Structure 1
Amino acid sequence: MKNSNSKTFVAVGIGAALFFVLGRFVAIPSPVPNTNISLQYAVLGLLAAMYGPVAGALIGFIGHALIDLSWGGIPWWSWVIASAFTGVVVGLFAKKLNVQEGDFNKRKVATFAIANVAAHAIAWIVVAPVLDILIYAEPAKKVFAQGAFAAVSNIITAVVVGGLLILAYTKTIAKKGSLDKE
């Protein structure tokens, strides 16, 4: 158990750092103001699927807060919370996915996709816009447009790139019984 906690702690540190670097320096501008195409959600999907909801929440929360802080302001808490929420939801599927087995079959690909679609749709179409309105008194039309774009782009990057990352990771794992005794 202690080794598992150590691995999760390290995964949170590395995951938050990768989330920050990808979100800050590899963000792809979009036509929607203050909204980017964000590759960091692929890493969040991978690590939440591997280490569970607590790791997913911390990676999303810390990584997003660091991105916002790096721009010289305070974190935009509604979106930081939405990123943490995304990590929690995807992480709740970690036991079903069990990527450490080295098996990412069609059923698990579908489960990963469903987890990400649900997480991002709720996070960006409900959580972030509603919190934007409640915390910052932002105009509803603006924040729901940003949220809808973020949901679609994050779903695509998380499912496609995150799925490819998991597939690549699982290919490196020796399957049980695959090693023959000589």
Structure 2
Amino acid sequence: MKDGLFKTILYTVIGIGIMTTLMLLTSITTPIEGVYIQLAYGYLALFAGVAGAIPAAIVGFTGHVLFDLIYTDHLWISWALSTGALGFVFGFAIRRNSLRQGVFSRHDMVRFNVVQAAVNIAIFGLIAPTLDVLFYQHSTTIVFTQGWIASIINLLTVAVFGTITLKLYANYKLKQNKQ
């Protein structure tokens, strides 16, 4: 038990570092203020598949907080909470035991992408903008525009980068298990 807990904590700390680094180094600015193309969300999917829902929620939340504190002029707690929630749901959308055995089938890919697309739209298209209005009294037009564009960008990024990295990880585990 202690060994498993230690590994989970270690993975989580390393995951936070990787998530933050990816958010800082691979952020591509879009024409919409405050909206970035982030490869880190694809990594969050991989991390959730490897470590599970709770560690992924911690990595998503903490990585986003650190990104905001380092890169932007303001901590957007609404978006950090949303990123944590996204990681949490990713942890349930990916069949971890199958992934560890080297299986990430087309069915798994479709299932994961349907869930991640719906959750990205719900979290970043609805929940994060609503929290912005409640927490910061921002204009609903601006934050919902940001939210819908961010949700579409995130779901596409996860669909491509997340799916590819999950498949590569499954292939790696399959080779490792055969040895």
Please report the TM-score for the alignment, with normalisation by the length of structure 1. 0.90
SS in 1 for 2:110: helix
Distance in 2 separating the partners of 1:25 and 1:71: 10
Partner residue, 2:27: 27
What do residues 97-118 of structure 1 show as CA deviations (whole Å, max 9, x unaligned)? 7311101111111122123112
SS in 2 for 1:174: helix
Asked if residue 3 in structure 1 is aligned to residue 16 in structure 2, the reply is: no
Map 1:117-156; keep pairs closer than 5 Å: 117-156=117-156
Give the number of the structure whose residues are more often helix, by fraction. Answer: 2
What do residues 139-168 of structure 1 show as CA deviations (whole Å, max 9, x unaligned)? 001001000111011001112101111111
User: Structure 1 pair 176/74, CA: closer, same or farther in 2 (3 Å)?
Assistant: closer
Q: Say whether the 8 Å CA contact 1:85–1:119 is kept in structure 2.
A: no
Map 1:98-113; keep pairs closer than 5 Å: 98-113=98-113
Q: Say whether the 8 Å CA contact 1:52–1:93 is kept in structure 2.
A: no
Distance in 2 separating the partners of 1:48 and 1:93: 9
User: Structure 1 pair 25/88, CA: closer, same or farther in 2 (3 Å)?
Assistant: same
Map 1:82-97; keep pairs closer than 5 Å: 82-95=82-95
Distance in 1 separating the partners of 2:134 and 2:128: 10
Please report the TM-score for the alignment, with normalisation by the length of structure 2. 0.92
Q: Say whether the 8 Å CA contact 2:17–2:63 is kept in structure 1.
A: yes
What do residues 66-97 of structure 1 show as CA deviations (whole Å, max 9, x unaligned)? 00111364421010011001011111224467
Q: List runs of 5+ in structure 2 lacking aligned partners.
A: none
* CA displacement at 1:175 relative to structure 2: 6.4
**More displaced stretch, 147-156 vs 107-116:** 107-116
Q: Say whether the 8 Å CA contact 1:51–1:94 is kept in structure 2.
A: no
2:78 maps to amino acid: S
Q: How many residues align?
A: 179
Over the matched positions of the two proteins, sequence identity in percent amounts to: 28
SS in 2 for 1:104: coil
Distance in 2 separating the partners of 1:19 and 1:176: 25
Distance in 2 separating the partners of 1:118 and 1:96: 20
